[in-house]
Amino acid sequence: MSEISEGLVRKKCKPCEGGVAPMTETQIGHMLKGLSGWEYKNGLVQKTYKFKNYHETMAFVNASAWISHREDHHPDIAVGYSQATIAYMTHAIKGISENDFICAAKIDALFDL
C-alpha cells in the first residue's frame, strides 16, 4: 500500500454540500499515483475489478456498498458476471474531491484483509 493510500484509508469522508472547488487535474493525477489501477475518465475516478465468478463479484459489490454507505459517499457500480467497475464523483460539486479518493483507497484495502 502506498503512503498516499495509507493516509487516505485512515481518513473519514467529510459532508460536501457544494461551495467547494473540485480538484484540479494536477491534484487528481497526484492522488491517482497513490492508488493502483484507478483512472480519471469522463469526469469520474474509476477502477474495474476482476473476479473468478459471479459470487465473488457480488461479495465485492456488497462490501464496497457497505464501505460507501459508512462514508456516506456513494459510487456508481457496474456489475458483470466476473467484474465490477466502481466509479466515484462528488455530485454536490460536479467534480472530484478527496472523498472520492478516501473511498477508493478503502475499497482497495478490502484486498489486504
What is the rounded CA–CA span in Å between residue 85 and residue 27? 22
Q: pLDDT at position 41, please?
A: 96
User: Which tens digits make up the pLDDT trace of 11-47?
Assistant: 999 888 778 899 999 999 999 999 999 999 999 999 9
What is the rounded CA–CA span in Å between residue 85 and residue 100? 14
Assign 85 to helix, strand or coil: strand
Q: pLDDT at position 113, please?
A: 61
User: Which tens digits make up the pLDDT trace of 56-87?
Assistant: 999 999 999 999 999 999 999 999 999 999 99
Q: Is the pLDDT of residue 104 over 80?
A: yes
DSSP classification of residue 88: E
* Beta carbons of 39 and 45 less than 8 angstroms apart: yes
**Amino acid code (one letter) for 66:** W
* Structural domains present in the chain: 3-13+22-112 (3.30.1360.20)
Q: pLDDT at position 33, please?
A: 95
- Report residue 111 as a C-alpha cell: 484486498
